[in-house]
Amino acid sequence: MKQLPNKIDFLQMEEKWERLWEEHGTYRYDWGDEVRPRYSIDTPPPYPSGDFHMGNVLNWTYFDMRARYKRMRGFNVHFPQGWDCHGMPTEVAVEKNKKIRRSDVPPDVFRKMCEEWVEQYIAKMKTAVVRLGTSIDWSLEYRTMDPDYIRKVQLSFLILYGKGLIYKGEHPINYCPRCETAIADAEVERLRRTGKIYSLAFGVPGGELVIATTRPEYIPACVAIGVNPTDERHSHLIGKQATTPIFGRKIPIIAKDDVDTTFGTGAMMICTYGDKADVIDVARFKLPVVNLLDKRGRLNENAGKYAGMTIPEGRKAVVEDLRAAGLLREEKPLEQEVGTCWRCDTPIEVVNAKQWFMRTTAFSDQIIEQAKKITWYPDFMRYRLIDWTKSLDWDWVLSRQRVFATPVPAWYCKQCGEIHLAEPEELPVDTKVQQPRGKCAKCGSTEFTPDYDVMDTWFDSSLTCAIHAGWPDRPDWHKLFPASVHPSGQDIIRTWAYYLMVRHLALFGEPAYESVLINGMVLGGDGRAMHKRLGNFVASPEVFGKHGADAARQWAAAGGSTGTDIPFRWEDVEYGRRFMTKLWNACRFSAMRLEDHDPSQHAEPMLLDRWILSKLEKTVKASTDAMENCEWMNATEAARNFTWHVFCDDYLEAAKYRLYGEGEAKLAAQQTLRYTIRRMLQMLAPVTPHITEEIYSTMYATDPKDSIHLSKWPDYNAALVDEEAERAGDLITGIMGEVRKQKNKLGVPLNKPVKRLVIYADEKALADARLGDRDVKETLKVEEIAYESGSGEAEVEGHAGVSLTLTLLPPS
């Protein structure tokens, strides 16, 4: 057996393996393999922000542990990595860096600048993903900004349009006035804040009606007043008209049975649109729509003298004029929840606009059915998707008014206005710089204007399950579809898990994935979610550079149960590092003691051999069960506790005298060591892939390309479970521990001989203890052991009724 060096630089060793795995193609997916079952991981392509933070370390450790475990279970694992490149943050960064506005240069030039910008961030993140030791197959790498990826996204657009599931229509949408674009429901965050509520006087026949509102700037878009018909204060006004303050417009007063009579004065403004509830009322009462905002999110001509102002400016001006006119009756603070843009925290507006939509709400029942059917790790996370789906009442608005995104593959006929979609053969296409090949189907004209819209980036990233599998180019793409697992964060179930499911159901009539693996958030030292702007941020290069990837992975795997939020603790990483040193030293010692071992010889295992083999099998079972269910913490703790405490602290110490000895007893210890270490390393391999590979390749591999990660996961061997050996072995190792503790307490060196040890216990325990007579004597240098009933000076921890008394040799 080859020997492990005394000193090792863990960081260098880790980087060596990352290089060798890629050189050897250790993790390549085998497209031609018809024997092994397939396992496909729908790795979410991250947005390349340039940072690989501890939250990413947590995510990728989860994906990778699943991949490694399944590979060792004999699966042909498909583990790709993509980059979700499009999006506004890149546009903003490029504008800032180049000191231009995106409209200053032609769109294709601006797009090129964005692509170059993104590449540098991808390079940084890829370095970190590799450095974490993930078992990704890099031959499968892709970018959503690649022409080939855009082709597939546009093709899916054409197919959905052909099925009537994508349409262009005028509907209310969420709009961010700062980002100047439509946004989807999933991108709206709920923010609590203190706003203001204003009581305004509307004119009504015979007097005035005071109405409370948080949006006075919407008076010009107020299309009705709603009152509850059961409200005696106002019911006589139903059917009459009110006059809006300042603007003097006549609007109807209508009966609306869901008006909260306890809020404000019990009368409410219905505007187009103050919020989402107004949208429902406008449809229900067939009210007209007054658009109040222009494309830039400013008040338009319908706001009269306030036209051109931003919303906050308009509100301020309207309130001042109301006050001056004596129409503002009250103004007070109000705790409220507002919808804000996920990107910039600006309160969103609801506006009517012509946009592209996908008919998603039609699939809600199917999504809920699938959410119930598929496997979730952890199980309760399924309700996040079910509840979100139930809450949706609008279709998905797909179009965005940006540049760096997948173009909508459509033009409009200059003659008749008809929509003209690209043909599949024309894809990928950027309609802003390309003209279609064909003619208008309606009037035959060959002149077109482009559709300037681009698609929501979720429209790129919600197609990965099919694209990873090889759709639409590989005829056998169904072999990898649906994805075996979609890994996701609890905060993006409503986007990623939802959009994937709805998209694949709509395109193929099939669910996107068979299971979902959820990770929680990483919390900083202050207990809040780790975030750059909160100053509690730790970057992964700092952690890798200090303690290495295997230590960081142990923190991720064992930091908390799967799906829960996990605090980042340096102590956990340091513990991981100490564990590696312990493992390294134990294996180095074992390799030396195995140097003359002949594996073709067999010896009968002795008591402590049978004891550890039995414990090993139980650990294999616990670890396998936990790995199956993605319970990383339990799997990691089972393997680490066995390694550190059972193997290193107890077994190795007790077997040393035999390993330094001769004959059958030595051979029995050697064969136990060889067998145990191999299985122990295999159980640890998904958590700490580098160090286990280094040890395995030295002690076990026969070929340089041989890898522990391609070896077979240990099968639970029930024949080795031996309850009697465990009972006796636990007692004997317990006695050894107590003797060590006593020596420590007395300040006596551990290697100093003991003259006499008396063990007190009942008959049954004494019989067990006698089985370890030689082990205790040799291991702890005890000259004589007496077995008595009664009680001694020190209880043996964990073994009620067993105690002992030590007599040390007189000082020499």
Residues in contact with Zn ion by CB under 5 A are: 176, 178-179, 341, 343-344, 346, 413, 415-416, 418, 440, 442-443, 445
The Cα 326–Cα 201 span in angstroms is 9
For 141-177, b/e burial (b = at least 16 CB within 10 A) is ebbbbeeebbbbbbbbbbbbbeeebbbbeeebbbbbb
Cα 84 to Cα 6: distance, rounded to the nearest angstrom: 44
Q: Is 415 exposed, middle or buried (0-12, 13-18, 19+ CB in 10 A)?
A: middle
Q: Between residues 88 and 677, which has the closer beta carbon with respect to Zn ion?
A: 88
Q: Locate 483 and state its tokens.
A: 């994805």
Pairing of the two strands 267-271 and 222-227? antiparallel
Residue 67 or 413: which CB sits closer to Zn ion? 413
- Closer residue to Zn ion (CB): 10 or 175: 175
Within 205-297, strands assigned E span 207-213, 222-227, 241-243, 250-255, 267-271
Q: State the Cα–Cα distance between residues 665 and 625, nearest whole angstrom.
A: 34
- Least separation in angstroms between CB 181 and Zn ion: 8
Between 179 and 668, whose beta carbon lies closer to Zn ion?
179
Q: How far is the CB of 575 from Zn ion (least distance, A)?
A: 42
The CA-atom distances, in angstroms, between 714 and each of 74, 539, 671, 675 are 11, 35, 17, 11
Residue among 177 and 378 whose Cβ is closer to Zn ion: 177
- Closest approach of Zn ion to the CB of residue 411, in Å: 10
Whole-number minimum distance, CB 533 to Zn ion, in Å? 16
Q: Name which of 418 and 726 has its Cβ closer to Zn ion.
A: 418
413 vs 659 by CB, closer to Zn ion: 413
Which residue, 101 or 286, is less far from Zn ion as judged by CB?
Answer: 101
Tokens at 21, concatenated:
């795995």
Residue 667's contacts (CB-CB under 8 Å, 6 or more residues apart) are 597, 601, 602, 603
Residues 6+ apart with CB under 8 A from 272: 221, 223, 278, 282, 287, 288, 289, 290, 291, 292, 352
Q: Give least dist CB 100 to Zn ion, A.
A: 20
Who's near 119: CB < 8 A, 6+ residues apart?
none
Q: To the nearest whole angstrom, how small is the minimum distance from the Cβ of residue 462 to Zn ion?
A: 21
Residue 239: closest CA among 253, 228, 218 = 253
Closest distance to Zn ion from the beta carbon of 316 (Å): 21
CA 158/CA 165 separation, integer angstroms: 10
Whether the bond between 147 and the residue before it is cis, its omega within 30 degrees of 0, is no
Q: How far is the CB of 340 from Zn ion (least distance, A)?
A: 8
- Strand residue runs (E) in 13-133: 38-40, 76-78, 82-83
Distance CA 52, CA 122 (A): 10
Residue 180 or 795 with smaller CB distance to Zn ion: 180
- Judged by beta carbon, residue 450 or residue 729, the one nearer Zn ion is 450
Exposure class string for 437-448: b at 16+ Cβ within 10 A, else e: eeebeeeeeeeb
Give the nearest distance from C-beta 449 to Zn ion in angstroms: 11
3-state secondary structure of 341: strand
Non-local CB neighbours of 348 within 8 Å, separated by 6+ positions: 174, 175, 176, 183, 188, 339, 340, 341
3-state secondary structure of 201: strand
Which residue, 413 or 681, is less far from Zn ion as judged by CB?
413
DSSP secondary-structure letter at 645? I
Closer to Zn ion at the Cβ: 183 or 620? 183
CA atoms within 13 A on the CB side of 546: 14
Give least dist CB 418 to Zn ion, A: 5
Q: Quick one: 444 or 525, whose CB is closer to Zn ion?
A: 444
- DSSP secondary structure letters along 479-510: GG-SBSBEEEEGGGIIIIIHHHHHHHHHHHSS
**Beta carbon nearer to Zn ion, 128 or 398:** 398
3-state DSSP assignment of residue 151: helix
DSSP state of 53: B
The residues that bridge with 758 in the sheet, in sequence order, are 786, 805
Nearer to Zn ion, 377 or 411 (CB): 411
Q: In the bound complex, what is the minimum distance in angstroms from residue 443's beta carbon to Zn ion?
A: 3
Closest distance of CB 338 from Zn ion, Å:
13
The enclosing H or E element of 338 equals strand 328-341
Minimum Å gap between C-beta 87 and Zn ion is 12
CB of 419 to Zn ion, least distance (A): 10
Specify the DSSP class assigned to residue 659.
H
d(CA 600, CA 595): 14
Query: What is the smallest separation between the CB atom of 355 and Zn ion, expressed in angstroms?
Result: 16
Nearer to Zn ion, 291 or 445 (CB): 445
CB of 445 to Zn ion, least distance (A): 5
